[in-house]
Amino acid sequence: MTERKRKPSKTNKVMKWINNLLTGVLMVLLIGVASLVVITKASGGEPQFFGYQLKTVLSGSMEPGIQTGSIIAVKLAEDKNAFVEGDVITFMDEDIIITHRITEVVNSGDSVLYRTKGDNNNAADMNPVMATNVVASYTGFTVPYVGYFINFSQSKNGAFLLLIPGFLLLIYSGITIWRVLAQIELPQKKADVIGEDGGKSSS
């Protein structure tokens, strides 16, 4: 007597599709977060890719365009004298890195100065920015809230965050392997049971 295989219902198919989708998204997020934290640690907090850097924004001076706690991508400045009014630049002010918009370009002999202002500030910055102090220009790419995570990961208390993605990946890998082994063993057990039944003789 042969057993008919039950066709999976539409509900089971949908649930399986959702499960696979969530699994894929979780894997991408875990790998992405782990990679970002490791790269940030290795680069001293300023990951760099092909002439671009990721900067953490912990001030609301450029809101609403750049939210507090965001990370932004900036392109390292090549010609520091070529910026114009309206450009958003990242520059050094003593030991602080600031990202503000240029409101005026001032040519002073052979040097160029930029007057800047945060979009959310009521007044312009007190000191003009020397072109030599410009680090990069804002590309328009920003990811909200991730900056809080990156900033915390740089602290002593946040060092353990490097281990969390690894543990999650390890647990997920273990669950995945267990599921695969269970799916392999189930058909084998069914085959053994059918084989035992088929081997019995009736008197």
Query: Which residues are catalytically annotated?
Result: 59
- Residue 87: which of 44, 128, 116, 45 has the closest Cα? 116
State how far the Cα of 136 lies from the Cα of 100, in Å rounded to an integer: 11
Write out the two tokens for 92: 């050094």
Backbone φ/ψ region at 94: left (φ over 0), alpha (ψ -120 to 50), beta: left
- Residue 89: which of 123, 58, 128, 45 has the closest Cα? 128
Strand-pair partners of 98: 91
Does residue 157 sit in helix, strand or coil? Answer: coil
Pairing between β-strand 111-117 and β-strand 134-143 as defined by DSSP bridges: unpaired
What angle separates helix 146-153 from helix 10-42, to the nearest 10 degrees? 50
Phi, psi of 20 (to 5 degrees): -65, -40
Q: Write the single-letter amino acid at 11.
A: T
